[in-house]
Each structure stands twice: as structure tokens, then as C-alpha cells.
Structure 1
Amino acid sequence: MDHESVKVVIARRELQTPEIVVLELAPADGAKLPPFEAGAHIDVQVSDDIVRQYSLSNAFEDGGVYRLGILNDPNSRGGSRTIHAQFAEGDEISISLPRNHFPLDMSAAHTILFGGGIGITPMIAMAYALKKAGKSFELHYCCRSSANAAFVDELASQFGDRLSLHFDDGADEQKLAPAAMLQSPREGLHVYVCGPTGFMDWIIDTAKQAGLPSAQIHFEYFSAEVDTSGAAFEVFAAASGVTVQVPEGVSIANALKAAGVKVDVSCEEGVCGTCICDVLEGTPDHRDHFLNDEEKECGDQMAVCCSRAKSARLVLDI
């Protein structure tokens, strides 16, 4: 783990559904954990060679804990599967300090939070922050069924009529209809969404079609399909003095690592931002879900775990 790490103890472990485990992390040395803002996440050192990012889902109080909700993903590459099978109460683990790439804009006139499946976790922290600040908001939690939903009792007791539950197997009137909700967006509305890729794309596209400016649509992807198709190209790692050819089907990160260049990666799906690198020359073909539209348009940085090149050559500051 390349970010500053701290040792914590799993103070509490609860299996809220057959596939969702909730962990509460307390400092291992008795000191206080640093505070965090809603939308933040931490890196968890799952094993010697696996680091994964998880959103913090609680309202942090001074001297409190960090709470994670972790889905046992059927497509797990070893992270969530290992946590579900091996992480137990009392275990000491390493985590990073909180980082926030999904900050909450507290100046919004009204905020709509959409959480799909395990994507509810950052929304819980946001709902607590908005409630504490006396802000206008609503929280929508979407799941395949009530059996798949975690945190429901807590959300109902804390947020009352600001909470709406939407289950795929529920009554038609219970199902989420974002087009109707966003048909005439009120001035100062901000939308936040997190969850499966298809769910997020649906909400984001609906908000854009309703005329909501991109600056008022906020999102954080947990995972994404990686497309490494396309013609081969050359990458010159300027700081390392190494040139590599990146063939179709191989990521820039893997091509550089094979040539001995150190590349920090984590999710390898273009969602966490760990591998973001400055572009000195050339035109990136952005395929990540981390950089926003304006950052991609600038073309001066890219995610080397998944993005490729539109030009024949890229020069990267690595």
C-alpha cells in the first residue's frame, strides 16, 4: 500500500445479509482515528498483493470507528472473497488514511442520493452529513430484493420519510422511476449515485437528459468492465527512461511493469484513481470512470490501468 497506512482492529463483524458483511474498524494502538468527510473511502490491505477500496458508511464522531459494508462479489478477483472468508473480529489489518474523490456539495438547495446495492454505503455517510447540517435531501436505496438489502432498519430509523426503498421484486409503484423524479429539476439540485455500472449509467444519463448540468451530477463507480482492444502504440516513461510497445489486449500498466517500471495500481478497472499519471505528449483514449469529462478533455492525465492511446505514441511522467 503506497499511501500512508495505519493499523486497525476489526472491532465488530456482522453478516447483515448472506452476501454483505459489515466491519467496524477501531485503532489498534488506542489512539483516535482521523476524521473523514462523507464520500470518503479507505484502502484495505487484503493480502500481501491485494489492496481494495471501500467507502466509509457511518457518521464519524470524534473517537469513533470506520465502518465498511462489503459485498461478496461473485466476480471477485480475490478482495471481497478473502475478506468474507478470512477477516474476523479481533484481527489487526492495515488501511490507508481516508481519501475523498466523491465529496458532498453542502451548498446544494436539494440533494438526491441514489444507492444501488452495495453502492448505498457512501450514501449513508452523505445522508448523515446532510441531516446533521439540516439540509434538504432524499435517499433512494435500490436492491434486487429486501433479502439483499443491508442497513435497512438503521436507515428507516434515522431518515424516516426521506428514505425510499426500491426492490426489483416489489410492487410496481415501489420501483424507481428517475425520469419522473428528474423531469423538471429544481434549481440548485445535486444528484449523487453509486452502485452497479448499469444502474449508475441509467441515473447519470437520465439526469443529463433532464437538463441537469454535469457539475451537479456526482458519481463513484465501484467496478467496471475493462476494454483493452485497439491498435498497438508506443509509451515512453519519461521519468524512468523506458520505452515500451503496448499491444492490443495489454494495459499500459502491465506493459510498463513488465519492463521494470514501478506502477501503482489497485482496482485495475479505472475506478479508483490510484494509477492516474500525467501525460506529457500524445492523446489518451480515456476508458476510465474516475476522471470527469473536463479532465478527460484536457488530456493531461490518464488512468494507465485501462486507458489507451489515440496517437501512435504517448509520453508519460512515470
Structure 2
Amino acid sequence: MKLALSKWFPVASISDLPYRHIFQGQLLGREYAIWKADDGNINIWENRCLHRGVRLSIGTNEGFELKCQYHGWRYANRTAGCTYIPAHPADAPARTICNNTYTCQEKYGMVWTCETPIGDVPDIKGFKSFTVLRPIPINSAYKNVRNFLSSKEIPDHHMLRSKQTEFWRFKTNAGNLLSLVIQPQSGNISILRGIYNLKTTGTEKLRVLKYYNSLMTKLRDEIESQHLPKLHERNPKISKLADDLSQFPTLSDQKHNLRVSVSEKVKLSDNIVKLKLKSIKKQLPTFHAGAHIDIVLQNGLIRQYSLTNGPGETDHYCIAVKIEKHGGGGSKIISENISVGDIMAISAPHNSFPLLRNSTHIIFLAGGIGITPMLSMAKAMHSMRQSFELHHFTKSNDKEAFSHDFASFTNKVITYNDLSINQSLTTIKSLLKKPKFSNKIYVCGPGEMIQNAIKIGLEFGWNESDIHYEYFKNENEIHKNSTFKIDLARSAMSLEVPSGKSVLQILKENGVNLVSSCEQGACGTCKVRVIEGKIDHQDVFLNSLEKEGQNIMLTCVSRAKSKRLILDI
């Protein structure tokens, strides 16, 4: 059994995977959902939805995602990570919700896999060109079929002895070759697959297929007529829930432990550069629309950039960077010093600006480079055929920078070039003047634009909870002159926060590795729940309702107005 688990076996023919189809395969008793994404990637997954165990093979192939037919859970191409749960449209699924995936190789017109592969699918001598034959199921165990082929003389064919025990090669009287391979579907069912060593077309292909279909069917009938004893059915090993998923996760420091190479660098405009990042070894983690990553630059700077990927674009991460001539140096390094082939350290995606899909319509307002998180959101909305409109306020020299990303939904995008502040305000007022039930606003861009959009929305009667925003930086002056005490309820620790240091700094100095990212009160990564105490909010992440609630704080900038805070850590 262990040897079988490390051997490559075919589980499907390439012809079983037409456009947006899902094929149900089986090997050694385990069922697979096998499907080809629109980018050509072939996925082999365990054939069950993680929710209720329904077969994914009866679901829908959306091109870059697989959708379960029962409750609509969606899983991403390559990673098999869950991207959407309809019952919780306002929540981004945890990255740990991920189906089991299996190694896949495409060779000789067939799809091959195994649970613990060693090496690659072996080469078959004499089969540089081939015709794939129709597979024949046999009601007999793999061992029985193998023994039969090893001793059977096939009419007009002579067996060629070989050290390869996975294949049975035969030479025809005409000098052509036939190779047979067995797929052990389950304990007592096998599938006999074959290839003919000439590439045939038209009537010749039809003749070859008919001939070998008849020949392989006769072999099946002869094997089944022997009434060989049945074997015990193989029960595939179903992985139990990992211990770390059945417990509350422990807090850990944000590590930049992913290594990627720059596979593409494109100047989208005079001021914007696009980077395409591909993993060196491991599959990149699943992301959700609105997510960003930390990038460690060559001089040690750490910068955050939103992912612009669409659904299922899981073999790479894409970011777009605006070159700031008077910025902190991050964009300048990317523009001048980063080249194709360079290795970079990044974090896994984290998302403090998630796309909530519990609305009937979304209005996206983007200012300048604030378009980046909304590109991913718009692509996700478009793929799910949900209603939205995207308004992009930009400079004329950048107006074509993202035209390629807009290509599939240009009818939903309106670009405004070189508007003055008053013109922009007038436009935003016209867009938000008629709030509707279950509609939402997403805004990202310069701080002043975000503040004005929120103000206008509230004046026209929008609920504050329906206005979502993301600042790229906190432009407010941060005061650090207070001194107070923090008690950690779950860690049984009491710590003093002196003037000049943040709560986050004190936590990390004392071994509490709270995850953080921007550390300026803009991204929300370091937020914690406050059980008791009065908070001095200095961030731009929480809205006014959340600040009034006095039960959440961003530890990187916010402080205490009271003498003590009790944190839920």
C-alpha cells in the first residue's frame, strides 16, 4: 500500500476536462474533484466541500474558482482556499479553511497524481507522439489485472519486457507500439488505460480507437470471467482536524517569511510601477479582495501594498506602486533598485479592508493609487455577477495605467481626470445623494478625499456602518505624552506604558507578539478588544461609532484617557 501511494497513476484523460467542467476521479479509494481553470492550471482536490461534505464534482467551475452546489462555498484555483461563504457575506473566510490538494502532472494525454509522489511520471520509450485510447473499467483488483497482463499474450501484439512495472508495452505485427497502464480506482475496481504510439487524426484515429476499444474490452471480459477473489476495499485516510485549528490561535509576531521573486516589472505610467511576484518554492497563501502584504525592501524599510489580483489568480501576487518623489523612500527603491529576478521577503496577506458581499449594490470611490484594493474588489464582484460601479479620480497622465484591469468591466468604470477639489466634491455629492437600502460605499485615496466622502455620505443619510474606507497613512499628529497602566486579562500581566512609547511597543518588549503592520493607526492589524477603561483614539481606521463604543483600540497609536486599560489579551 505504501508503495502504491508513492507511485504515479493516471486519474483522467485530458479530454475529460473540457472548458469549465469538473471531472470526478478516483484512485486507491479516494475521490477527487479534477478541474481545469481558465489559466490552464489543472487542480486535483479531495472531492468534498469543507462545510457539509458534499461532492465538489457536482459543483460549478467558475473559471478561477470552484463553487459548491449545496451552500455556495467558493474555493480558489491552486490553493483550494475558501474565498466566500454566502451565509457570512460580511466576513472574509479564515485562511485556514482550505481543502486538501494533490500533486498533478500532465503527460501522455492523461492527468497523473499520487498521494506521496517520488520523482516525476516515468517516460515511456517510443511514445514521443501518441493517441490516447478509451479507458475501460474492470471489476477486478489492481493486482489481478496486473498479473493477467504480465502473463497474457495479446493477438497480433508481442510483449516488450521492461524494468518499468507501471507500464505494459506491446509491439504490433506492423511495428507500432501499444502501452497499457492500470488505474487502481478502488480495492476491486480498476481502469485500464492505453496509448498508441502514433498521432492519428480523422478516419485513421477512429479506426485505431475502435480497434483498441474492442481489444481492451475483450481483455476486460476475460479478466472478469475468471471470478478471482475480491480484496478488502481500501479506505482512504481522511485527515483529522489539525490541533491548531481546534483551539484559539495564539498571538504571534507578523513574520515576513515568504520568499518571492520579481517575475515582471512594468511601468504603467510615468508615476506608477507594477510588480508581479511569484513564490520561489511554496504555493502562495489564499487572499481575499482588499488584502495587502508587507514587503521588506533592500534598505530594511517595510511597506504595505494592496493586492490587485482577481479571483483565482493564485500563482502570483500583483501590486501597483505610486512613485512618491517626496515620500519615505519605499516607492523610490522599488522604482529604481528592484529588477526582474530579484528575491524579496513578504508577509502573508492580511485584510483590514475586506469586501463585504452582503449588499445589493456597491459604489467604489477611488482617488489616485487608492484604486489598488478596489481593483481586486471589482474583479471579485464582476466574477460573481454582483452589482457595482467604480469611480476613479485621477490625473490625466495616469488615466490609462489600469485600463487592462478594467477591460472586463469597462461599462461599470467612470474615470475623472484632473478635477479640482470643488469639482471632485460636486461629483461625489451627485453619486451619493440618493442612499438606498442595502447599498454600500467603499472609498480609498488621499485622506482629505476619504474624510469628505464620509461627511457627504452622512449628510445625505447614509448609515455610517455602510461606509467603508482605508487610509494609506495616518496624517494626524500622534501624542505620546501620557503614562498609564495596562492589564492583560488572559495573560495575567500588568504593564506600565510610559510617555514616548506605544502600547504595541510595550507588549512586544514583554513577549506579547501582537501582529502588526503599518504601525501608524491606518491598517487596523494591531487592534485589540478593551474590556475596561477609557481610550484616547488617535487612529484613522475605526469609524466614529466604533470609537464611541470604547471597546476596541489600535495599540500602535491609541492610548488611555483613564489611569488603566484592561485588554482582552
Partner SS state of residue 17, structure 1: coil
Looking at structure 1, the residues matched to 484 and 445 of structure 2 have their Cα atoms a distance apart, in angstroms, of 35
Q: Which residue matches 1:6?
A: 258
Q: Which residue matches 1:232?
A: 482
Greater mean alpha carbon deviation, residues 120-129 or residues 161-170: 161-170
Looking at structure 1, the residues matched to 543 and 481 of structure 2 have their Cα atoms a distance apart, in angstroms, of 25
Deviation at 1:166, TM superposition (A): 0.8
Amino acid of the residue matched to residue 431 of structure 2?
Answer: M
Looking at structure 1, the residues matched to 393 and 426 of structure 2 have their Cα atoms a distance apart, in angstroms, of 7
Question: Which has more radius of gyration?
Answer: 2
Q: Which residue matches 2:360?
A: 109
1:189 is the counterpart of 2:442: no
Q: Which residue matches 2:534?
A: 283
Greater mean alpha carbon deviation, residues 46-55 or residues 14-23: 46-55
Partner SS state of residue 61, structure 1: coil
> Does the 8 Å contact 2:391/2:416 carry over to 1?
yes
Partner SS state of residue 177, structure 1: helix
Q: Which residue matches 1:271?
A: 522
1:22 is the counterpart of 2:274: yes
Among 318, 330, 350, the alignment partner of 1:79 is 330
Pairing of 1:82-101 with structure 2 (within 5 A): 82-101=333-352
1:167 is the counterpart of 2:417: yes
Partner SS state of residue 87, structure 1: coil
Pairing of 1:111-130 with structure 2 (within 5 A): 111-130=362-381
| Change in CA separation of 1:299 and 1:49 when aligned onto 2, cut-off 3 Å | farther
Deviation at 1:182, TM superposition (A): 1.5
> Does the 8 Å contact 2:311/2:380 carry over to 1?
no
RMSD: 3.0
> Does the 8 Å contact 1:275/1:304 carry over to 2?
yes
Deviations 1:170-205 (A, max 9, x none): 9x9898611112111232211111111011111121
Greater mean alpha carbon deviation, residues 74-83 or residues 280-289: 74-83
Looking at structure 2, the residues matched to 263 and 76 of structure 1 have their Cα atoms a distance apart, in angstroms, of 29
Looking at structure 2, the residues matched to 274 and 157 of structure 1 have their Cα atoms a distance apart, in angstroms, of 32
> Does the 8 Å contact 1:53/1:272 carry over to 2?
no
> Does the 8 Å contact 1:117/1:149 carry over to 2?
no
Partner SS state of residue 199, structure 1: helix
Amino acid of the residue matched to residue 539 of structure 2?
Answer: D
> Does the 8 Å contact 1:263/1:275 carry over to 2?
no
Pairing of 1:31-42 with structure 2 (within 5 A): 31-42=282-293
Partner SS state of residue 454, structure 2: helix
Greater mean alpha carbon deviation, residues 124-133 or residues 306-315: 306-315
> Does the 8 Å contact 1:252/1:308 carry over to 2?
yes
Q: Which residue matches 2:403?
A: 153
Deviation at 1:255, TM superposition (A): 6.8
> Does the 8 Å contact 2:505/2:556 carry over to 1?
no
Looking at structure 2, the residues matched to 63 and 227 of structure 1 have their Cα atoms a distance apart, in angstroms, of 39
Unpaired segments ≥5 residues, structure 1 = none
> Does the 8 Å contact 1:40/1:122 carry over to 2?
yes
Deviation at 1:6, TM superposition (A): 1.6
Deviations 1:50-78 (A, max 9, x none): 32221111214255321101122345334
Amino acid of the residue matched to residue 84 of structure 1?
Answer: S
Partner SS state of residue 268, structure 2: strand
Partner SS state of residue 81, structure 1: helix
Amino acid of the residue matched to residue 77 of structure 1?
Answer: G
* Greater relative contact order (CA < 8 Å, ≥ 6 in sequence): 1
Looking at structure 2, the residues matched to 158 and 175 of structure 1 have their Cα atoms a distance apart, in angstroms, of 28
Pairing of 1:51-70 with structure 2 (within 5 A): 51-61=302-312, 63-70=314-321
Unpaired segments ≥5 residues, structure 2 = 1-252
Deviation at 1:283, TM superposition (A): 0.9
Deviation at 1:244, TM superposition (A): 3.5
Looking at structure 1, the residues matched to 313 and 324 of structure 2 have their Cα atoms a distance apart, in angstroms, of 32
1:206 is the counterpart of 2:459: no
Deviation at 1:231, TM superposition (A): 5.7
| Change in CA separation of 1:150 and 1:196 when aligned onto 2, cut-off 3 Å | farther
| Change in CA separation of 1:153 and 1:174 when aligned onto 2, cut-off 3 Å | farther
> Does the 8 Å contact 1:192/1:219 carry over to 2?
yes
Partner SS state of residue 83, structure 1: helix
Greater mean alpha carbon deviation, residues 11-20 or residues 272-281: 272-281
Pairing of 1:241-256 with structure 2 (within 5 A): 241-246=494-499, 250-253=500-503, 256=506
Deviations 1:71-118 (A, max 9, x none): 223453343333223221111112222222222222321111111111
Among 466, 470, 473, the alignment partner of 1:216 is 466
| Change in CA separation of 1:82 and 1:277 when aligned onto 2, cut-off 3 Å | farther
Partner SS state of residue 318, structure 2: strand
Looking at structure 1, the residues matched to 370 and 408 of structure 2 have their Cα atoms a distance apart, in angstroms, of 18
| Change in CA separation of 1:301 and 1:174 when aligned onto 2, cut-off 3 Å | closer
